[in-house]
């Protein structure tokens, strides 16, 4: 994209949308004051978050948010608890999920909102992912043991607090045992892709993931496009076009790690392909340096109108348009 195009699209972005990572935007604040603010990307103990679903819901309400979506990795196990806590305390909770899809060189995550959590096909697909995860996890233990580290699966299970077991729980055990000095060191030395204790696990293709999200009446949104590992605009556009054909409805443009120019790029794509712009903090609990629910690292407040847009898209899809 040329310099002029970028200036133009950034200018219109500031005028039409609420401002993001910029000093003052009166319209943004008026909207947030009137309608409230939201967070559409959160993890709980059902996957690799620190707070239970009920705790996340109560925390969001106490912080003054208007609505949240719970989007655990590959599981909806926390949703029933989160939804009923929301009902109990009078707080809007959107049932969601974050599915890891096949992609390289980076990672592709697809969010699904307003899922029918009892949908049989969704539950069957997620059951398959659980099985793949259950097969992978002991292999990580084995690899760590081969590297001379004293660790067993029960310790990891305990660290997971009864929810789905993921690599962050391995990292926490390694930290507890003082094998590493930080959570990040555990990933860098042992657990990340290409590291000596990394074991790959099955992922659905984007087409498959988008299919079952749509079948379960969910609205599918590409999570944090930055992690796709795509640099050029045209390559990203090609992928977005493919995903739209496969059933994508939105882009998670607002995300703590996205720069203003990346947000502007996602807005250009969203406008061009009729996609929603959504956002969330990816809050996992207290462990992520200074990142909090609803605000990220302080720059993130997003208005409730994003939820209304999601609901409008869902209604349209249900009507078969």
C-alpha torsion 218→222→38→88, nearest 10:
30
Cβ 252 to ligand AMP, closest distance in Å?
A: 14
Question: According to CB under 5 A, which one of 17, 48, 81, 92 is a site residue for Fe ion?
Answer: 48
Does 10 bind ligand AMP (CB under 6 A)? Our answer is no
3-state class (DSSP) for residue 46: coil
Q: Which is nearer to Fe ion, 42 or 216 (CB)?
A: 42
Cβ 206 to Fe ion, closest distance in Å?
A: 14
Interacting residues of 219 by C-beta distance below 8 A, sequence separation 6+ = 112, 113, 114, 213, 249, 250, 276, 310, 313, 314, 317
Question: What does the alpha-carbon distance between residue 188 and residue 185 come to, in Å, rounded to a whole number?
Answer: 5
Structure tokens at 88: 């109990």
Does residue 166 contact residue 231 with C-beta atoms inside 8 Å?
no
Does 109 bind Fe ion (CB under 5 A)? Our answer is yes
Q: Which is nearer to Zn ion, 86 or 256 (CB)?
A: 256
Question: According to CB under 6 A, which one of 17, 48, 72, 85 is a site residue for ligand AMP?
Answer: 48
Does 166 bind ligand AMP (CB under 6 A)? Our answer is yes
Site residues (vs Zn ion, CB under 5 A): 98, 282
Cβ 81 to Zn ion, closest distance in Å?
A: 18
Number of residues that bind ligand AMP (CB under 6 A): 8
Sole window of 5-13, 165-173, 212-220, 309-317 interacting with ligand AMP (rule: CB under 6 A): 165-173
A 10 A CB-CB count for 201 gives 17
C-alpha torsion 309→315→316→318, nearest 10:
140
Strand pairing report for 92-101 and 67-70? parallel
DSSP codes joined into one string, 189-237: IIISTTSTT------B-HHHHHHHHHHTTPEEEE--GGGG---SHHHHH
Does residue 147 contact residue 195 with C-beta atoms inside 8 Å?
no
Binding mask 178-207 for ligand AMP (x = CB under 6 A): ------x--x----x---------------
Sole window of 152-160, 162-170, 203-211, 312-320 interacting with ligand AMP (rule: CB under 6 A): 162-170
Sole window of 58-66, 101-109, 202-210, 296-304 interacting with Fe ion (rule: CB under 5 A): 101-109
Q: What are phi and psi of 292, to 5 degrees?
A: -120, 160
Question: According to CB under 6 A, which one of 41, 61, 119, 167 is a site residue for ligand AMP?
Answer: 167
Q: Which is nearer to ligand AMP, 6 or 132 (CB)?
A: 132
Sole window of 118-126, 166-174, 301-309, 311-319 interacting with ligand AMP (rule: CB under 6 A): 166-174
**Which of 208, 205, 227, 224 has the alpha carbon at shortest distance from 216?**
208
Q: Which is nearer to ligand AMP, 86 or 256 (CB)?
A: 256
Does 86 bind ligand AMP (CB under 6 A)? Our answer is no
- In the sheet that 302-303 helps form, which strands lie side by side, from edge to edge? 276-279, 250-254, 219-222, 108-113, 92-101, 67-70, 37-39, 302-303
Question: According to CB under 6 A, which one of 49, 53, 96, 168 is a site residue for ligand AMP?
Answer: 168
Cβ 244 to Fe ion, closest distance in Å?
A: 20
Q: Which is nearer to ligand AMP, 53 or 168 (CB)?
A: 168
Cβ 30 to Fe ion, closest distance in Å?
A: 31
Does 82 bind ligand AMP (CB under 6 A)? Our answer is no
Sites of contact with Fe ion (CB under 5 A):
48, 109, 223
């Amino acid at each position: 994209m040329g310099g002029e195009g970028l200036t133009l699209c950034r200018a219109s972005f500031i005028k039409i949308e609420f401002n993001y990572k910029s000093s003052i935007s009166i319209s943004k604040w008026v909207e947030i004051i009137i309608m409230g603010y939201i967070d559409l990307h959160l993890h709980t103990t059902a996957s690799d978050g620190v707070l239970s679903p009920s705790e996340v819901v109560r925390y969001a309400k106490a912080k003054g948010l208007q609505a949240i979506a719970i989007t655990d990795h590959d599981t909806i196990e926390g949703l029933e608890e989160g939804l009923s806590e929301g009902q109990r305390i009078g707080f809007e909770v959107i049932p969601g999920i974050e599915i890891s899809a096949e992609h390289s060189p980076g990672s592709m995550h697809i969010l699904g909102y307003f899922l029918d959590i009892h949908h049989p096909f969704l539950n069957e697909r997620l059951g398959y992912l659980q099985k793949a995860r259950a097969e992978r996890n002991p292999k990580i233990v084995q690899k760590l043991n081969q590297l001379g580290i004293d660790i067993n699966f029960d310790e990891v299970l305990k660290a997971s607090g009864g929810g789905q077991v993921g690599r962050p729980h391995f990292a926490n055990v390694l930290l507890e045992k003082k094998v590493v000095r930080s959570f990040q060191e555990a990933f860098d030395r042992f657990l990340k892709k290409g590291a000596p204790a990394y074991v790959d696990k099955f992922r659905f293709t984007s087409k498959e993931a988008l299919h079952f999200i749509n079948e379960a009446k969910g609205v599918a949104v590409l999570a944090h496009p930055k992690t796709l590992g795509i640099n050029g605009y045209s390559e990203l556009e090609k992928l977005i076009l493919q995903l739209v054909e496969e059933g994508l409805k939105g882009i998670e443009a607002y995300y703590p790690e996205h720069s203003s120019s990346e947000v502007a790029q996602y807005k250009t794509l969203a406008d061009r392909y009729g996609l929603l712009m959504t956002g969330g903090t990816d809050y996992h609990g207290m462990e992520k340096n200074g990142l909090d629910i609803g605000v990220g690292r302080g720059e993130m407040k997003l208005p409730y109108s994003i939820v209304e847009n999601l609901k409008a898209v869902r209604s349209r899809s249900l009507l078969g348009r």
